[in-house]
């Protein structure tokens, strides 16, 4: 018997043999076979696997994973030992039994797959299975993302600007000038959406920026409830201006069943306690967006200067980026009479204008709700990549960064 201290030594030696048989076609043997097959994708010399050995027939199974299965006593009776090497791939409890059978047959050119080696192979297999399941789940999510939804959730900025200005804000709020949209313009858009979507708007989220910078924030829920009575309404806020709101605001929250989605930022424990007390005193429904966890930041990455083979900036495959982006189609924003499938594309003009960037913002990044012919056209548009996706680098995004205020540096978004 030949002994090896680790799998690397065993594999190196096995590649030098004319024939290699695996004695044992159970879980360990099959896992070892899959481990060996990984070598097929390398430039290294392949192992010459010739088949499985078993002590007795396995329900007439003649092949396993592409290798023939031989009953060892019968094989020995018909073939010479040649330069064939056997790796015993059975559990430790019956290895001695197999060794005894090999010795009786005069076969001493073999080795044992030790318990440590078997555990390493099985762990590797489990890791690969987990990786495969993860990939399947991602593919399933990507496939679902490409199927138009029956209705939409949409968001609307009551203000592009913010009074907190988080570093790397997805909406580019630190780069926005103060100012608020026209309420009558919003009403016209909601009337049009109610008509063309045939009422199939499930949720309207009012945010920004910071929505409470808009002095008329209380008016918007009434318009939503009037034209989209079945839609849920949320107002997403950092809460800093909640203590300053008037009775008109709180009445609107009650009248229109608005849920206040409060993100608790690390401004100070005293401030946060005061904000939550105001919410409780006014008896409104509210949720804390980040729960009890400390607020952290994520870093989206835009490849604004990446040059493709055609000389056009933005070289990434828009389809790939779309399929792997959790925001795609799930962060629909209404802005300038258009629906955008993500907030990044809807507000990228702020980045372009502030830094004077040479990036192309296409008319095809959003769909005009007044030019769209029907609900199906809108839903189909929101389930497909847009030209702006080519600037995104989803695989480069990172999360869990310590919260801080923006310095308005381009590196926060690239």
Task: Give tens-digit pLDDT for 59-88.
Answer: 767 888 888 999 988 888 777 666 789 999
pLDDT level of residue 221 (50, 70, 90 thresholds): very high
Q: What is the pLDDT of residue 309?
A: 44
Question: Could you give the CA distance from residue 349 to residue 261 in angstroms, rounded to a whole number?
Answer: 26
Beta-carbon neighbour count of residue 59 at 10 Å?
4
Measured CA to CA, the distance from residue 29 to residue 18 in angstroms comes to 19
Kindly report the backbone phi and psi dihedral angles of residue 153, in degrees, each rounded to the nearest multiple of 5, phi listed first: -105, 130
Cα separation, 367 vs 371, in Å, equals: 8
User: How confident is the model at residue 311, as a pLDDT?
Assistant: 44
Residue 40: its pLDDT value, please? Answer: 52
Task: Indicate the length of the chain as a whole number.
Answer: 414
User: How far apart (Å, rounded) are the C-alpha atoms in residues 237 and 280?
Assistant: 16
Q: Rounded CA gap, 207 and 182, in Å? A: 15
- Is the per-residue pLDDT at 254 higher than 90? yes
Helix/strand/coil (H/E/C) assignment for every residue in 227-252: HCCCCEEEEEECCCCHHHCCHHHHHH
Does the pTM exceed 0.85?
A: no
At residue 126, does pLDDT exceed 90?
no
| Residue predicted with more confidence, 39 or 341 | 341
Averaged over 294-312, what is the pLDDT?
73
Q: Rounded to 5 degrees, what are φ and ψ at 341?
A: -75, -10
User: pLDDT (tens digit, 9 = 90+) per residue, 281-299?
Assistant: 999 999 998 876 778 899 9
Q: Identify the three-state secondary structure at position 138.
A: helix
Q: Which residues on adjacent β-strands are paired with residue 368?
A: 338
Amino acid 310: pLDDT: 47
Q: Rounded to 5 degrees, what angle do the CA atoms 344, 157, 247 make?
A: 155
Residue with tokens 């960037």: 357
Are 40 and 65 spatial neighbours (Cβ–Cβ below 8 Å)?
no
Among the residue ranges 139-153, 267-281, 382-396, the one predicted with the least confidence is 139-153
Condensed to tens digits (0 to 9), the pLDDT of residues 108-119 reads 899 998 888 888
Say if residue 312's pLDDT is above 60: no
Q: Is the pLDDT of residue 41 over 80?
A: no
């Amino acid at each position: 018997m030949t002994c090896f201290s680790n799998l690397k030594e065993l594999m190196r030696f096995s590649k030098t043999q004319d024939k290699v048989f695996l004695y044992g076609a159970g879980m360990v043997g099959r896992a070892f076979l899959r481990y060996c097959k990984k070598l097929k994708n390398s430039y290294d010399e392949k192992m010459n696997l010739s088949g499985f050995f078993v002590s007795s027939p396995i329900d007439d199974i003649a092949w396993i994973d592409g290798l023939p299965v031989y009953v060892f006593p019968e094989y020995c009776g018909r073939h010479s030992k040649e330069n064939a090497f056997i790796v015993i791939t059975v559990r430790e409890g019956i290895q001695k039994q197999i060794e005894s059978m090999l010795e009786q047959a005069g076969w001493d050119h073999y080795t044992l797959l030790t318990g440590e080696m078997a555990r390493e192979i099985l762990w590797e297999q489990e890791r690969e299975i987990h990786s495969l399941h993860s990939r399947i789940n991602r593919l399933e999510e990507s496939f679902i993302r490409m199927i138009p939804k029956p209705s939409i959730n949409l968001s609307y900025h009551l203000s592009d600007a913010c009074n907190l200005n988080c570093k790397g804000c997805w909406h580019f709020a630190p780069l926005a000038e103060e100012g608020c949209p026209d309420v009558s313009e919003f009403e016209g858009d909601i009337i049009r959406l109610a008509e063309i979507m045939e009422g199939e708007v499930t949720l309207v989220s009012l945010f920004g920026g910071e929505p409470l910078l808009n002095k008329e924030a209380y008016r918007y829920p009434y318009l939503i409830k009037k034209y989209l009575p079945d839609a849920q309404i949320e107002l997403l806020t950092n809460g800093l201006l909640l203590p300053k709101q008037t009775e008109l605001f709180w009445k609107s929250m009650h009248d229109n069943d608005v849920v206040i989605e409060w993100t608790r930022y690390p401004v100070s424990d005293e401030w946060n306690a005061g904000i939550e007390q105001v919410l409780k005193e006014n008896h409104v429904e509210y949720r804390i967006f980040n729960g009890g966890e400390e607020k952290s930041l994520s870093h989206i990455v835009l490849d604004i200067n990446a040059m493709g083979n055609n000389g056009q900036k933005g070289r990434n495959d828009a389809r790939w980026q779309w399929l792997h982006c959790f925001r795609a189609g799930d962060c629909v924003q209404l802005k300038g009479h258009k629906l955008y499938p993500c907030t990044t594309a809807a507000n990228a003009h702020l980045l372009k204008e502030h830094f004077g960037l040479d990036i192309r913002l296409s008319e095809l990044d959003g769909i005009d709700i007044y030019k769209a012919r029907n609900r199906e056209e809108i839903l189909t548009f929101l389930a497909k990549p847009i030209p702006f996706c080519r600037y995104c680098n989803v695989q480069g995004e990172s999360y869990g960064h310590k919260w801080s205020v923006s310095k308005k540096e381009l590196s926060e978004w690239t």
